[in-house]
């Protein structure tokens, strides 16, 4: 029989949430600087209080949530967020607790360090945890509540995700210095379609780049596909083809010392937005709001 809800403690809830996210009591204990026995005892007491098994212990996979554990995980996140907001209401100038935020992997090198510095400088007591994510991970991690917000592109994430636009990501073609197109001031999509394309192949990103040609009723010659932004740039710099990208590094050098030439594409507009994605069915915590404010200040 379940005990009275008053037997539940905040530490039990905090331990439970982190174990659910890490899938390991050992890792949770190390991260929170407590004995593993304290974690396992707290989880056992919590299960007794609730009258339900929250985890299944598996040797090869650590621990995984049961159906009841998954349900309670969502509620536990709300509990912890409400406590943080209640504490914040007494000292609105001082944010504490943990902010779990994501950043699309190709945006991360350009914006994530500055966002991190702005947040930690303005809110030194805030535990900022930033994570690189792909387009295919954004919706999943937000709905699993592993992230509250994510700086990303305006891909189709479904009705469960809201997207707040901050800026447009300009599109351009990149060729090597030795390309016959390198001396041009602009290039047409028709000309590019006849050249070998080195495609940045990151799920939703690949679909977006290919859609630029599809919208113009053109079929590109995809020569190679890579998931790394820098590998694509290096391949282009070495003359293996051209690529189409959105983010603009501060210089045109590649990691291996090559150089690319960036060209505007005649008559092509990106229409791809950069912004912050978050769950549509609930209001943001103050921590989520300050993340958006930091992103807006930097990108807006």
Give 54-91 pLDDT, tens digit per residue.
999 887 668 999 999 999 998 998 888 788 777 767 76
- Determine, yes or no, domain membership for 56: yes
Helix 135-143 / helix 204-215 crossing angle, nearest 10 deg: 130
The closest alpha carbon to 192, from 241, 152, 151, 255, belongs to: 241
Closest C-alpha among 23, 3, 21, 19 to residue 11? 19
- Tokens 């939703």 appear where? 204
CATH assignment of the domain containing 33: 1.10.10.10
What is the separation of C-alpha 65 from the centre of its chain, rounded to a whole number of angstroms?
Answer: 23
Same domain, 155 and 295: yes
What CA–CA distance (Å, rounded) separates 32 from 18?
9
pLDDT, mean over the chain: 91
Query: Is the predicted pLDDT of residue 3 greater than 60, yes or no?
Result: no
On whether both 186 and 259 belong to a single domain, the answer is yes
Residues 113 and 74 grouped into a single domain = no
pLDDT for residue 152 = 96
CATH at residue 121: 3.40.190.10
Q: So what's the pLDDT on residue 204?
A: 85
Q: Are residues 145 and 196 in the same domain?
A: no
What is the per-residue pLDDT across 207-218, written as a single tens digit (0 to 9) for each? 999 999 999 999
Give the per-residue pLDDT at 96: 80
Query: 256, 264, 210: which is closest to 233 by C-alpha?
Result: 256
- 76: region left, alpha or beta (phi > 0 left; psi from -120 to 50 alpha): alpha
**Confidence (pLDDT) at 60:** 67
143 and 188 fall within a common domain: no
Specify whether 51 is located in the same domain as 181.
Answer: no
Q: Which domain holds residue 153?
A: 96-168+273-299
Task: Indicate the SS3 state at residue 153.
Answer: strand
Q: What pLDDT digit, counting tens, does each position of 15-45 carry?
A: 999 999 889 999 999 988 999 999 999 999 9
Residue 232 confidence (pLDDT) above 60 = yes
Determine, yes or no, domain membership for 180.
yes
Q: How many domains would you assign to the chain?
A: 3
Q: 66 with 179, same domain?
A: no
Give the pTM. Answer: 0.72
* One domain for residues 122 and 244: no
């Amino acid at each position: 029989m379940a005990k009275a809800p008053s037997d539940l403690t905040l530490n039990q809830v905090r331990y439970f949430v982190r174990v659910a996210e890490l899938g390991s009591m050992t890792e949770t204990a190390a991260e929170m600087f407590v004995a593993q026995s304290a974690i396992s005892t707290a989880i056992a007491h919590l299960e007794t209080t609730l009258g339900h098994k929250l985890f299944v212990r598996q040797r090869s996979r650590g621990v995984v949530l049961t159906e009841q554990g998954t349900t309670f995980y969502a509620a536990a996140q709300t509990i912890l967020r409400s406590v943080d907001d209640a504490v914040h209401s007494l000292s609105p100038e001082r944010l504490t607790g943990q902010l779990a935020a994501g950043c699309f992997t190709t945006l991360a090198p350009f914006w994530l360090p500055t966002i991190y510095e702005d947040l930690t400088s303005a809110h030194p007591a805030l535990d900022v945890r930033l994570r690189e994510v792909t387009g295919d991970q954004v919706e999943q991690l937000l709905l699993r509540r592993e992230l509250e917000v994510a700086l990303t592109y305006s891909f189709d994430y479904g009705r469960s995700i809201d997207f707040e636009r901050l800026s447009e990501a300009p599109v351009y073609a990149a060729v090597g210095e030795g390309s016959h197109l390198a001396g041009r001031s602009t290039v047409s999509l028709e000309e590019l379609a006849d050249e070998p394309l080195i495609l940045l192949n990151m799920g939703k990103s690949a679909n977006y780049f290919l859609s630029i040609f599809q919208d113009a009723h053109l079929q590109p010659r995809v020569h190679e596909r890579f998931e790394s932004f820098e590998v694509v740039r290096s391949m282009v710099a070495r003359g293996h083809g051209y690529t189409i990208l959105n983010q603009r590094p501060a210089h045109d050098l590649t990691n291996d010392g090559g150089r690319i030439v960036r060209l505007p594409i005649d008559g092509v507009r990106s229409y791809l937005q950069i912004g912050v994605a978050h769950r549509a069915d609930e209001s943001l915590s103050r921590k989520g709001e300050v993340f958006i404010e930091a992103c807006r200040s930097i990108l807006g």
